[in-house]
Chains A and B, each alone.
Chain A
Amino acid sequence: MKNKIYIFLFLILGLTSCDDFLDRAPSVNLSEDAVFTNYVNAQAFEADIYSGLTQRFNAVGDYLPVPMSSASDESESNAGYFGTKVFNMGNYDGADANIYFYYSAIRKANLFLKNSERVPYPDAKTKEKMLGEVYFLRAFYYNEMLKRFGGMPILTENDLFVPGDNLMRPRDSYRDCFKFIMDDLNKAINYLPVTLNANEYGRATKGAAMALKARVLLYAASPLFSNKTGLWGIGGDKDDWMDKDGKLWWQKAADAAKAVIDLTDEDGNLVYELYQTGAANKADDYEKLFFKRRENGNKEIIFYRHEAPVGFNAPQINVWMPSGDFGGAGAVQPTNNFVKLFEMKNGLSIDEPGSGYDPANPYINRDPRFYKIIIYQGCQWQGATVDMSSTTKQFPSGTFLTGYFVRKYVPEEVKKNTSVTTYHNWIFFRLAEMYLDYAEAMNEVEGPTDRVREAVNTVRRRSGVIDLPVNLTSDKSSMRKRIQRERAIELCFEEQRWWDARRWSTGDDGELAAKWFGGPMYRVAITKVGASVTYNEETYFTRIYKSANNLYQIPTGEMYKNPLFVQNPGY
């Protein structure tokens, strides 16, 4: 009997002493090995690196997120928490500065690169294509940080932290980051194909990498970065890899943009062309190009956030759609500061003598693009005449502020209570920008030559806009101002002005960003008595913008966490 007890005790102890019962075969989730030693899994992993490309129609804010445009002088955000309003009060701590987000995308790219030799690719071409995409994306994400903060720590495929590693890295210099991005882009340009099969649309191409290279060079050549050194600029000290002469920086930027414009496919045809259908009103093409993709005959788009068609309730439409009867949030509202930038039909700006501008009837005879970009008092929109006067019944009070809504990007046929959908992609690069990049850089190199003027006019003519007045663009400086305005109009709401104004600051024209983004912001108050409408410009808010804001603040949280981080000046 005693033996039985011992057996029993032995049984208990025996069962307990091994913890195999709690040991399980690897769970259903994959391991790193399983991902990278299988082509299908590796492909899925690579696809996810693209998810760091976000549409910027709804870039910041916790509720009804709005585009960065509303922190520039283009528009005001009339909704949302923590969005662009914080910027407009001079607070650059946090919003749109998600360091974790970019590094998370970079880590994905690095994980792929670290494991890339293990992947059983079906052929060498596929391998090149995938590597090219990953190098392009890594460069893209680094550039997103570079333009916001200046130099940030460069983490490569050899810097995949494991527990115990030291995470306290100092910031790397602007020049090192720039160089790192250029290296990645040169590899990408080398590896990537010029054209894609239809089922691959959305992937990076050679043209996308070339366009990013043009933009990175243009930014580096711009005064904000070429006039500074260390963390904050490329200028100054010796470097064999690049020329030191500022002029040559502009030359390289111009060459890179020109290379995109001239890029041809295997058959020798131009890969990119401005979207022109031969419509009677040429500005119609300007309106439609944002809803058409390559498969719809639009060869202007170089790289974009590829998404399925969306309908009325999608935030990228709804947030921009006029409020009230039109059913949208109407959260993006152009300012009068911006509306005043539109030239008259005759090519003169409204304050130039002979422009014919009539403050009592401000919306006639403007740049043809005005009517495709702005929803204004009395215009036709979705079958109604828009009324933003103080006694309107179309909009509840408080849902319209500036007296304008945005028409560009808002598809007119997508109405509330309908299920109409349309392509609505955030465009990162399109050919018009390359023309303007080229014009800007070449103007800095050689002044307003014919080819500079022609590049700008090419873009204007597509929308039926009159050519630049030659007498008003006779020197480098006045040409520069016209190019700046051209970018403001042609590329409005595309998150270009937000960066353009900054990179132009500290140059010959002074602190442009502080001048444009700070100070009084204007709305137009509309009063209607019977049939007569009067317009009064009034200040609705005085924004705070200091020259320090040309670079973002490193978020306070990150500064607390890493004592090696150096904060950007002025914060």
Chain B
Amino acid sequence: MMTIKKKLEKTLVLLLFLLSTFTYAQNNSPLKGKVTDNLGNPIDNVTVSVIDEFTQASTDKAGNFLISAGTGKILLFSKIGFIPKKFEVKDNSFIDLKIEKQTVEPEYQVAYGKRSKSSLTAAISTISADELSKAPVSTLGNAIQGLSSGLTVLRTVGAEPGWDQPSLYIRGVQSFSGATSPLVLVDNVERDFSQLDPEEIESFTVLKDAAAVSMYGMRGANGVILVTTKKGFVGKPVISLTAQYGVQSPTRLPKYAGSEDYVKYHNIALRNDYNNLSDEEFNSLFLSDPRNVPSNYNGSNPGLYPNTDWYKSFLNSTAPQQSYKLSLRGGTEIAQYYVMLGIVDQKGLYKSTNENPGTFTGNEFSRYNFRSTVDVNLSKNLKVGINLGGRVENRHVPSTGAGTIISALSKLPPTMPVFNQDNSIAGSAIYNYNPYGMIAKTGFQDRLSRYLQGTTTADLKLDMILKGLSANGLFGFDAYKFSARSKSQKYAVYQQNLDGSYTKFGEDSSIDLGYSNWGSDFSLMLNYMLGLSFDRNFGKNEVAADIKYMQSSQSVDGDNADYRNQGMFGRTTYTFDKRYTVEFGFAYNGSENFSKGSRFGFFPTISGAWVLSNESFLKDNELITYLKLRGSYGKVGNSNIGVGYRFPFENKYYSGSGYYFGTSDTDGSYEGRISSPNITWEQSLNSNIGIELGLLRKLEMDIDFFNNNRTKIITGRWNILPSIVGQDLPYVNSGSVRSQGFEISLKHNNRLGDFSYTVQGNISLAKNKITSQEEVSGMNSWEYRTGNPVMQQWGLQVSSDKFFKDQTDIDNWAKSTYGAVKPGDVKYVDQNKDGVIDSQDNVPLGNPSVPEWNFGLTLGCDYKGFDFNVLFTGIANRSLFMSNNVLWGMQDNNKITTEVAENSWGVSQNPLYPSLTTQLNSHNYQPSSLWIKNVDFFRIQTMEIGYSLPKKMLLKANISNIRFFINGYNLFSFDGLKKYNLSAEIPNAGVTMYPEVRVINIGVNLKF
């Protein structure tokens, strides 16, 4: 691994050296110049190239450039969105050049095409490649948090390298049975994006309303994310090299009481547990043991009375990560190309040891991404593109999972040493494990994933048949290979007894000599798409139309039929005079999971836009510089209905374990759920109204309101039909959910001399409510799910006095079915007054577990080569049950935090937590209002400071740009869980899951 990286670094240095000598060879005096628009505002990032030479430069923020070009040479000035302009060098004088904005409006990526701003009728939002690169994370999903309105990115697992994929929702959760995650397409083929390198991404588009997703039909109801990778362009080659090095450090780790306090509180807990003993009996039983005397842990005899910080012992405070990206991009009119290689290496936080030399005992994720794209104009009418992407992902972890290791750190008491005095691994009857053993002495696993994804496209102009007509095709080829291997080992722990002897728990073994292979997978997906497009203007009338056919099949390892999709879809857009647009889109697609004859559905959408600012009464208005109203209404579907197995319309028998006869198990076979021949997709009628507003040419604002009615959500009916059928009943499509909300996004750019700044923000609200779900009549009113949000949580309500005062209080209250109750235990409200606390007393508590509000705010500025950017993100209306030992205290022999200990019943006058116990207590730790917490947060998500060296300094080296930057991720969070030192987004991170990390990263980017 290291050697490959070193080799690459050496190659890069060599390459740099060659390039610089190459440019030194050209001996032309530098030309200075400035590029402005017709209002005199400087324009940055204009590519200045010498035609027929390899020389290329670009303008800085002030529009200035420097380039070497001899007299008579022709310079080409180009920038996307501007009309390219040529300039012939006559002498050495300052070039003051104006370039004009292309009257063509900005274009947006939409489903299988592009639309100009005025003809866009759909609700979409975009994230630029530039924004993605500001978050130094390896998993791309984590880099898009807060950047798009209507998109919820929710991290639910810790930041274990390579395993930290977040959950995504567009406009919230809209189904209680079916899948809720959006459809993701990379280059128009259904693929995962999260392990792509940000470097290879050109644009990232979130499709939200019916008009945006209409062409995805029964697969679009949860929204769609379109990822488009980079392609070449016409111009001199640009080589870009980025090297970054960062450190990850845990954000919040629980802070447990040290040994002295731990023993003190442990004794209180024991006293509560042994409340039937007299003081004398208790003292002679427990306090006579010197290990139960707090003052012994004052540090004077750490060998016998340790104070172990388990986190510090096994987690590094920082772990390095590095990444290198090299890309080459350019092309001619005939062919354009883009080549990229990216390397990421991310170490985990575990402290590695010298156990088993030659074996890395820590955790590590490394990834190699490559992409090679070529687009060739084979003839005037035929354009062919080949886009080949691939990656290798290697994950190396100890054989003991992160959850187990971190849980051990959070559970083991400070009074236990890591190693005994004889250097054996410490343990005890209760704690018969040790993180040292888990990390270094259980062996390791390697998971190796390889992906190869090819997309071939062809575009054939058919002007000779009909002007504006073209045919297009796509062939996608995705191969995935996974293999896993491991070596394992066992370890024993030893308890040091007071008399100096040792008790052994478990067994030792040395690590396996050979690897055992325990997993492999292979899949191959083929995608075909054929289509016709028509795009033509007739005076003020613009017409665009598409029709496409697609099919895909994915074969997988094992005894399973391949997964298939098929459909036809299209769209027609008519625009008049850039003022009125009407669009009709449809999809007619099918799913293999519905029975023949009824597996295809038709999903039409109609939408329109009116650009008021192009009307005479608003034209040239200085205040309202842009105003557009748009609306859409359509039917979309979700074929991923959540059945959990394929072909639910078939009647099926499965093979099972049978019964044990004689001396062996007999094969068994059993009937599956009664078939559901009429099962169908979820259907959603979505409407959206949008306003796009531009003020004073400086402020852009998009507002969208939506109302989605998802129906035909499947329910199993087990809760409404008698059980005597003795078999799972067929699914029926009878549930419905209504989702409503709005999104506002704002963008403001301004330049004041050398200083320019950007403010971008978005706010989204998505609320949902179950409007029907089959439920029997006669239940207690609080037990119904209908009327509540899909992700609503239920639990017991704690009475206002929270805890039982004494035995009389217990005797006079409803009895718990969750275990024996003592004074100081939680007092729950008996909702149905049946004298028993049980699951019928659960009421809706708090907010849903997926947030209803999402915020993002970006502030950016630059001044003379310096640039600064900060992204704030936040969520609101989300609650979670705190279910880990940070709040649950000592029960089940856990550790305890001073916060909980000091505020527990019997210790504090005004207790917030139940009485301390060392035993497993199921009564106190039921989901209840005591443990549900508001987990809203507002966070500094990323911050970046960059500095670009002045152009003059670079000219001789023929480097067009060098930029140094330092950025950070997950920097600071404002939330209510600070006092527990828990993450608000992932409260179990660092307790029962891998910790959450903050990343500080430095890097340099060179462009030639």
A28 to chain B, nearest CB (A): 5
Stretch binding the partner chain, chosen from B100-108, B236-244, B316-324, B725-733? B725-733
B270 to chain A, nearest CB (A): 8
The answer to whether A48 touches B720 (Cβ under 8 A) is no
- B-side contacts of A560, CB under 8 Å: 776-779
Q: How far is the CA of A91 from the CA of B551 in the complex (A)?
A: 57
For B666, give its contact among A2, A9, A47, A391 (CB under 8 Å). A47
The answer to whether A81 touches B722 (Cβ under 8 A) is no
The answer to whether B776 touches A81 (Cβ under 8 A) is no
- A-side contacts of B277, CB under 8 Å: 390-391, 397
Does residue A104 face the partner (Cβ distance < 8 Å to B)?
A: yes
Does residue B568 face the partner (Cβ distance < 8 Å to A)?
A: yes
- B-side contacts of A40, CB under 8 Å: 667
Q: How far is the CA of A168 from the CA of B276 in the complex (A)?
A: 54
Closest chain B residue to A51 by CB distance?
Answer: B659
Stretch binding the partner chain, chosen from A159-167, A281-289, A332-340, A490-498? A159-167
Closest chain B residue to A393 by CB distance?
Answer: B285
- Given A1-B464, A163-B674, verify A198-B727 contact (CB < 8 Å): no
- B-side contacts of A21, CB under 8 Å: 551, 564, 566
The tally of residues in A whose CB lies under 8 Å from a CB in B reads 85
For B273, give its contact among A31, A104, A152, A398 (CB under 8 Å). A398
The answer to whether A81 touches B922 (Cβ under 8 A) is yes
For A169, give its contact among B547, B596, B718, B722 (CB under 8 Å). B722
B485 to chain A, nearest CB (A): 28
Does residue A85 face the partner (Cβ distance < 8 Å to B)?
A: yes
Q: How far is the CA of A8 from the CA of B836 in the complex (A)?
A: 71
The answer to whether B549 touches A12 (Cβ under 8 A) is yes
The answer to whether A200 touches B670 (Cβ under 8 A) is no
Q: How far is the CA of A202 from the CA of B665 in the complex (A)?
A: 11
For A99, give its contact among B284, B724, B730, B776 (CB under 8 Å). B724
A32, A152, A397, most chain B CB atoms within 10 A: A397
- B-side contacts of A169, CB under 8 Å: 722, 724
Looking at chain B's contact residues, the main secondary structure is: loop
- Given A29-B653, A560-B779, verify A100-B661 contact (CB < 8 Å): no
- A-side contacts of B820, CB under 8 Å: 398
Does residue A237 face the partner (Cβ distance < 8 Å to B)?
A: no
The answer to whether B836 touches A29 (Cβ under 8 A) is no
A19 to chain B, nearest CB (A): 6
Does residue B808 face the partner (Cβ distance < 8 Å to A)?
A: no
- A-side contacts of B596, CB under 8 Å: 19, 22-23
Does residue A185 face the partner (Cβ distance < 8 Å to B)?
A: no
The answer to whether A202 touches B660 (Cβ under 8 A) is yes
Does residue A557 face the partner (Cβ distance < 8 Å to B)?
A: yes
Closest chain B residue to A309 by CB distance?
Answer: B663
For A81, give its contact among B654, B674, B724, B817 (CB under 8 Å). B817
Does residue A314 face the partner (Cβ distance < 8 Å to B)?
A: no
The answer to whether B818 touches A81 (Cβ under 8 A) is yes
Cβ contacts A28-58/B at 8 Å (1 or 0 each): 1111101100001101110110110000000
The answer to whether B836 touches A89 (Cβ under 8 A) is yes
Does residue A381 face the partner (Cβ distance < 8 Å to B)?
A: no
- Given A19-B599, A107-B725, verify A35-B669 contact (CB < 8 Å): yes
Does residue A469 face the partner (Cβ distance < 8 Å to B)?
A: no
Does residue B560 face the partner (Cβ distance < 8 Å to A)?
A: yes
Does residue A108 face the partner (Cβ distance < 8 Å to B)?
A: yes
Does residue B723 face the partner (Cβ distance < 8 Å to A)?
A: yes
For A202, give its contact among B600, B661, B818 (CB under 8 Å). B661
Q: How far is the CA of A85 from the CA of B818 in the complex (A)?
A: 8
- A-side contacts of B653, CB under 8 Å: 29-32, 34-35, 41, 45
Does residue B846 face the partner (Cβ distance < 8 Å to A)?
A: no
- Given A44-B666, A391-B284, verify A397-B836 contact (CB < 8 Å): no
**A155-189, CB < 8 A from B:** 155, 161-163, 167-169
The answer to whether B670 touches A8 (Cβ under 8 A) is no
The answer to whether A16 touches B658 (Cβ under 8 A) is no
Does residue A24 face the partner (Cβ distance < 8 Å to B)?
A: yes
Cβ contacts B630-656/A at 8 Å (1 or 0 each): 000000000000000011001111111
Closest chain A residue to B275 by CB distance?
Answer: A397
- Given A16-B568, A100-B723, A308-B660, verify A561-B776 contact (CB < 8 Å): yes
Stretch binding the partner chain, chosen from B135-143, B365-373, B584-592, B784-792? B584-592
Q: How far is the CA of A431 from the CA of B549 in the complex (A)?
A: 73
- B-side contacts of A48, CB under 8 Å: 656, 658-659, 668-670
Closest chain A residue to B645 by CB distance?
Answer: A29
The answer to whether B724 touches A155 (Cβ under 8 A) is yes
Does residue B390 face the partner (Cβ distance < 8 Å to A)?
A: no
- Given A104-B727, A163-B677, A561-B720, verify A30-B655 contact (CB < 8 Å): yes
Does residue A396 face the partner (Cβ distance < 8 Å to B)?
A: yes
The answer to whether B922 touches A12 (Cβ under 8 A) is no
- B-side contacts of A557, CB under 8 Å: 719, 776
**B720-755, CB < 8 A from A:** 720-727, 730
What is the count of residue pairs linking A and B with beta-carbon distances less than 8 angstroms?
231
Does residue B532 face the partner (Cβ distance < 8 Å to A)?
A: yes
Q: How far is the CA of A25 from the CA of B730 in the complex (A)?
A: 22
Cβ contacts A206-221/B at 8 Å (1 or 0 each): 0000000000000000
Q: How far is the CA of A330 from the CA of B159 in the complex (A)?
A: 40
For A306, give its contact among B549, B659, B777 (CB under 8 Å). B659
The answer to whether B817 touches A89 (Cβ under 8 A) is yes
Q: How far is the CA of A29 from the CA of B645 in the complex (A)?
A: 11
- B-side contacts of A34, CB under 8 Å: 653
- A-side contacts of B98, CB under 8 Å: none
Does residue B2 face the partner (Cβ distance < 8 Å to A)?
A: no
The answer to whether A15 touches B549 (Cβ under 8 A) is yes
The answer to whether A86 touches B836 (Cβ under 8 A) is yes
Q: How far is the CA of A386 from the CA of B827 in the complex (A)?
A: 36
Does residue B471 face the partner (Cβ distance < 8 Å to A)?
A: yes
Q: How far is the CA of A468 from the CA of B591 in the complex (A)?
A: 75
Q: How far is the CA of A29 from the CA of B778 in the complex (A)?
A: 39
The answer to whether B671 touches A391 (Cβ under 8 A) is no
- A-side contacts of B521, CB under 8 Å: none
Does residue A231 face the partner (Cβ distance < 8 Å to B)?
A: no
A16, A91, A202, A562, most chain B CB atoms within 10 A: A16
The answer to whether B568 touches A162 (Cβ under 8 A) is no
The answer to whether A47 touches B661 (Cβ under 8 A) is yes
Closest chain A residue to B777 by CB distance?
Answer: A560
The answer to whether A44 touches B658 (Cβ under 8 A) is yes
The answer to whether B724 touches A8 (Cβ under 8 A) is no
Closest chain A residue to B678 by CB distance?
Answer: A163
The answer to whether B778 touches A107 (Cβ under 8 A) is no
B549 to chain A, nearest CB (A): 4
A11, A45, A63, A86, most chain B CB atoms within 10 A: A45
The answer to whether B727 touches A8 (Cβ under 8 A) is no
The answer to whether B549 touches A16 (Cβ under 8 A) is yes
A148 to chain B, nearest CB (A): 14
The answer to whether B659 touches A47 (Cβ under 8 A) is yes
Does residue A269 face the partner (Cβ distance < 8 Å to B)?
A: no
Does residue A111 face the partner (Cβ distance < 8 Å to B)?
A: yes
Q: How far is the CA of A561 from the CA of B677 in the complex (A)?
A: 24
The answer to whether B817 touches A86 (Cβ under 8 A) is yes
Does residue B919 face the partner (Cβ distance < 8 Å to A)?
A: yes
Does residue B465 face the partner (Cβ distance < 8 Å to A)?
A: yes
Does residue A106 face the partner (Cβ distance < 8 Å to B)?
A: yes
B273, B670, B678, B836, most chain A CB atoms within 10 A: B670
The answer to whether B671 touches A91 (Cβ under 8 A) is no
Pick the 3 closest A-B CB pairs, nearest first.
Answer: A103-B726, A107-B726, A199-B662
Could you give 30 example pairs across A and B, Cβ below 8 Å? A15-B551, A16-B588, A22-B590, A30-B669, A31-B650, A41-B653, A43-B667, A44-B655, A45-B668, A47-B661, A47-B666, A48-B656, A81-B817, A81-B922, A82-B817, A89-B817, A103-B723, A104-B726, A167-B721, A167-B725, A169-B722, A197-B662, A198-B663, A199-B662, A199-B663, A200-B661, A306-B659, A396-B918, A398-B820, A562-B722
Given pairs A22-B566, A202-B659, 10 additional interface contacts (CB within 8 A): A8-B471, A24-B564, A32-B651, A47-B668, A89-B836, A105-B726, A107-B726, A155-B724, A167-B721, A308-B660
